[in-house]
Structure 1
Amino acid sequence: MALLTALASLAVGCSAPPSRTSELPPNDIIKTAQRKLTETCLTRQGLTPPHPGSRPPSRAEQQRVTRALFGTGRTELSLTLPTGYSVRAHTDGCLAEAQRTLYGDQRRWFRVSTVVNNLKPEAAFRKEPLTEVRTRHHGELAEWRRLRARAVINAKAHLQADPPRAAR
């Protein structure tokens, strides 16, 4: 059930986008475009994207959607964090396709976003102030900002070419 909730959350992104994407905060612009890209990918494969409030799919359908969304087989991307945890991702699912469309380089985005999203846990693990950890990772932070700026531009272009529909 938690997976279905996560899928529905991804599918929702922004529940009622304003008429113009420029009115949305950058994170919401990216999420809205990512949702549309993943929904298009799932639909292209004959699958029904999950939507909150809709009837839950059968277990078999849920598994097909999960595999199509997140990829299958051996994980091609992997990063071990200073805390010892490993983060892995596929390069063949609809989410990976959306990330390539928005960020341009999925492998680089995976690496820098994983590092940046785990700076606080790293600071706690090392018993260091977050400012020191951020200073040590200044290169990753700069690359994260660069890739994110690219994603906002690509997301706006995608949404202007194919405006989002109202929430169901």
Structure 2
Amino acid sequence: PLLPSPSNLQPPPSLRASEKFLQQMVSLFVASHYRNTPNDLLLMADAPAHHLFVLLPPVDTTANALPPILAVVQVALEGSISRNGARQKLASGESLPQGDLLPWTIGQQFQDPDFPALSGARVVRIAVHPEMGRAGYGSRCVELLKRYYQGELVGLDDVDLDDNKEEEEEEEER
């Protein structure tokens, strides 16, 4: 069977919205940082240890539009390196592997082979909408990230969206 050419296919509306949202995020990163490469986008998309957090204004659920992005934060999860592996690398003096910047650097500087076994989140960069600069949104992002990693806030990955739809439908029926 012949398949239609991908160039003839129209993306579903949800994909268009996702693409616009991604475009807003990347635009904020580009506008706020002088060194951006296509590799940055690949890293954000493909590196499992890198996470993006987006600060949005209150969302109007009746509006059929994307909310403007106030700020976006790129976070790298680092550490949890085996103690034996860290001891061998630090003792050998050879160059340290890519990634896990803070655990390796601090372990090397303080000659602490146990430090790389710890885990943490490193803020790679914060981008705030140019019209919202100096309004405290970057600080608010850091505050919310801290609360998130302390378990005080729930992320979308932790929410079953199908259950939420069922709850909303039940409320509408009442």
TM-score between both structures, scaled by the size of structure 2 = 0.29
Could you say which structure has the higher strand fraction? Answer: 2
Structure number with larger C-alpha Rg: 2
